[in-house]
Amino acid sequence: MLKELSIQNLAVIASAVIPLEAGFNAFTGETGAGKSILIHGIQAVLGQRVSRDMVRAGEKKAIISGVFSPIPDSAAAILAESAEAYGYPLDADTLMLTREISADGGSIGRINGKTVPVTLLRQVGETLVNIHGQHDNQILLRPDRHLDVLDQFGEDNSLRLCYQEEFQALQTVARKLGQAKKSEQQKQQRILALQEIMTEIAELDPQPDEDTLLDEQYQQAAKAEQHSAQVTQITQVLTDGEENLSDALAVACEWLNRLADSLPDAAPLAERLRSLNIELRDISDSLSDCAGNPLSPAEFARLNDRRNAVNTLTLRYQTDANGLRNLLEQSMDEMEQLQSDADSLAELAEERQRRLHVVTDLAKQLSAYRKQLAQAFSERVAAELAELNMPKVRLCVQLTQGKLTPSGMDNAEFYISTNPGDPPKPIAQIASGGELSRLMLALKAVIAKRDDIPTLIFDEIDTGVSGNAAQKIGRKLRQLSTHHQVLCVTHLAQLATQANHHLLIEKQSDLISTNTQVSVLTPEQRVHEIARIMSGDQPSELLLQTAREALEQAQQKKT
């Protein structure tokens, strides 16, 4: 619960430390004294939206702190989860939330003295305090909140929790399936590209380092062809041509032989020419042998075609022969994965269908449970409204079914009938401000034991009511305070007398400034304040006695 609220420089409040107690805390004061500022201060601590206009005139910043003790489990869980990230100390019994509002805009949140995001303040604050104001009937006027109220009334929420768990699992599968379907077209395009890659490379069947080997073979074949041509030309000159050297030497040798009879020195020369011719033919044979055997035109053409084919693919895929082999292997692996993904897509579709059946069945069970719950809820609210001087008002829950949502397949809306025989209508169409306040209070009373938020704040919930109805509202607030800490800003004595802790909000002004102070009233001061509420300033002794008796009667009924 909220143990203490400290305020500095918030609007007309220069400085205030407000102690609060368990049970029913009532705030009273004259109109314009600053009761709404108190609510704004609490909202600021809880991480709600604030304005720099809230900073007291002439000051740089406003500081509001709230001390809470004990800490509910829901808040403790949030605090434990974020403590390490933001470095704030944890205390099992006490929590301090602080909000600084700068006059030049912006604000800072703190938990136990350490700076935290304001969103974290809000998250924690939602587990600590629930504020219901005169113009804040969101639960009643917003049908989207009615189903939560009905479920909160139910003692067993295991079915809803089970449904929500299965629904979340269904959403996860559906999201994966949607993503898979969305990328299916891209996958098909990729499959076509992979098929083309694999077909081209598989048909070529490149061997390890084949591009390098083919280049070497091509160069060797080209050189062999060039060498063969050159050797042919040389051998033609030496031995094969029409006017080759070998034939010329043979003719010269024959001529010398003819001269040998008449010219004895010619015979040795003829022998030398014959030896030279033999050497010449040996040189010609040796040239042919060293030139080797060049490829046939058909073989060279095949070599050239293979080399061109390999080079074409290496250029296309910007790699070499080994890279083509790796690309083929990678493409095959990717194709296998894509085909596996296609199988996974079918599995996801089957799983989604299976989970949809489970969720739908749970939603039907939840609907049946809510129909039973709605009847009991309506009866309990009617009983509470009777105690709040609205015996003829009946509330019913209109349940309709729609699509599956995180809450089930149900839509709920509260309808009321204000007079016997009148057909029920939506609350927003027929309820007055005073009726809304009492309806809200009835709902709070019905779910009080199941609501784990420790502090409830009512800002002028008594607007539009008086007399006996106001007295019953006061009693109902007192009843609520047995399960929650209740803070109520009121202008009616019937409510203030029911409180066990009474605080006065009063404004003091001089020629320089205005300041609002909050003080805890003593029993005698309470008598004077109750009397003032009843008739205004300067109450008579008779009125003071009436106020004293009203307080005593309220206290006796409390005991």
Tens of pLDDT along 46-88? 999 888 889 998 899 999 999 999 999 889 999 999 999 999 9
Read off the pLDDT of each residue in 514-543 and give the average, rounded to a whole number: 88
Shared domain check, 24 and 100: yes
- The percent of residues above 70 in pLDDT, for the chain, comes to 93
Shared domain check, 53 and 22: yes
Shared domain check, 31 and 111: yes
Read off the pLDDT of each residue in 34-46 and give the average, rounded to a whole number: 87
Residue 100 has pLDDT above 90, yes or no: yes
Shared domain check, 80 and 39: yes
Q: Please tell me what DSSP assigns to residue 240.
A: I
Residue 558 lies in a domain: yes
Residue 226 lies in a domain: no
Give the model confidence (pLDDT) of 312-332 as tens digits.
989 988 999 899 999 989 989
CA distance 499 to 471: 12
Residues spanned by the domain of 529 = 522-559
Pick from 446, 198, 239: which is nearest to 326 by CA? 198
Residue 136 has pLDDT above 50, yes or no: no
Residue 96 lies in a domain: yes
CATH of the domain at 67: 3.40.50.300
**Could you tell me the pLDDT band of residue 135, with boundaries at 50, 70 and 90?**
very low
Give the pLDDT of residue 244: 81
Number of domains forming the structure of the chain: 2
Give the pLDDT of residue 293: 66
Average pLDDT value over all residues in the chain: 86
**Could you tell me the pLDDT band of residue 137, with boundaries at 50, 70 and 90?**
low
Listed as own residue / partner, the contacts of 235-240 with beta carbons closer than 8 Å and 24 or more positions apart are: 235/284, 235/287, 235/288, 238/280, 238/281, 238/283, 238/284, 238/287, 239/280, 239/281, 239/284, 240/284
Residue 555 has pLDDT above 70, yes or no: yes
Residue 156 lies in a domain: no
Residue 402 lies in a domain: no
Shared domain check, 513 and 542: no
CA distance 374 to 154: 9
3-state secondary structure of 268: helix
Shared domain check, 515 and 554: no
Give the model confidence (pLDDT) of 103-129 as tens digits.
998 899 999 999 999 999 999 998 999
Give the pLDDT of residue 138: 56
* C-beta separation of 321 from 206 below 8 A: yes
* C-beta separation of 152 from 373 below 8 A: no
Residue 272 lies in a domain: no
Q: Which helix (H) or strand (E) holds 4?
A: strand 2-10
Q: What is the 3-state secondary structure (H, E, C) of 83-151?
A: HHHHCCCCCCCCEEEEEEEECCCCEEEEECCEEECHHHHHHHHCCCEEEEECCCCHHHHCHHHHHHHHH
Shared domain check, 544 and 529: yes
Give the model confidence (pLDDT) of 458-488 as tens digits.
876 777 777 888 888 888 899 889 889 999 9
Distance of CA 461 to the CA centre of its chain: 37
Shared domain check, 548 and 474: no
Pick from 48, 1, 45, 7: which is nearest to 25 by CA? 1
CB atoms within 10 A of CB 170: 20
Tell me whether strands 61-68 and 95-102 are parallel, antiparallel or unpaired: antiparallel
**Could you tell me the pLDDT band of residue 422, with boundaries at 50, 70 and 90?**
confident
**Could you tell me the pLDDT band of residue 211, with boundaries at 50, 70 and 90?**
confident
Give the pLDDT of residue 365: 95
Give the pLDDT of residue 290: 67
* C-beta separation of 212 from 206 below 8 A: no
Shared domain check, 516 and 526: no
* C-beta separation of 369 from 159 below 8 A: yes
Give the model confidence (pLDDT) of 224-269 as tens digits.
777 777 777 777 777 777 778 778 778 778 887 888 777 888 888 8
Q: How many Å is the maximal CA-CA distance in the chain? A: 186
Shared domain check, 480 and 557: no
Shared domain check, 4 and 104: yes
Shared domain check, 19 and 68: yes
Residue 207 lies in a domain: no
Residue 476 lies in a domain: yes
